[in-house]
Amino acid sequence: MKGLAPIGIMAVAALTVGCATEPPRPTEEMTRARTLIEQAEQSGAQRYAAADLQEARDKLQQSDQAASKGNTRDAQWLATEASADAQLAAARASSGKADDASRQVDQDLATLRSQTVQGTASLPSQNVTPPPPPTAPSNSPSPQ
């Protein structure tokens, strides 16, 4: 029985170490989040979705901190959330740009309409009398 005790202790120790091992640092998720944040910044998210972009940055930073502390599950979760926030910021930036373009087209159309109305009103009126209506041919024989 005394020979089995060291083996049992080693088995329990091996199981404890195996269970306590955290998954590896979520490098892939964190890299994806960084890339999406950079893309959102380049798409104009700072102008159109600053709060969403900042949220993505904050969650990526929290993810990095959690990974540094060995809490890779939280780090992975936060990196995934940072990616989603960055995608939302990029989508809102795209929508904001489309809204701006739509307003510009509406403004350009209003300007053209205004110019068209002014151009029509400023044309000189021509006092041209219409030509007389054609006369109907007569049925009487013409003098020869």
Q: 44-103 pLDDT, tens per residue?
A: 999 999 999 999 999 999 999 999 999 999 999 999 999 999 999 999 999 999 999 999
Q: What is the mean pLDDT of the chain?
A: 83
The model's pTM is 0.64
Q: Please list, in sequence order, all residues whose beta carbon lies within 8 angstroms of the beta carbon of residue 97, skipping any fewer than 6 positions away.
A: 43, 44, 48
In angstroms, the Cα distances linking 112 to 9, 107, 122 are: 87, 9, 15
In 3D space, the residue among 17, 29, 21 whose CA is nearest the CA of residue 75 turns out to be 29
pLDDT band at 1 (very low <50, low <70, confident <90, very high): very low
The CA distance from 50 to 57, in Å, is 11
Q: Is the pLDDT of residue 138 over 50?
A: yes
- Evaluate if residue 131 carries a pLDDT over 70: no
pLDDT surpassing 80 at residue 133: no
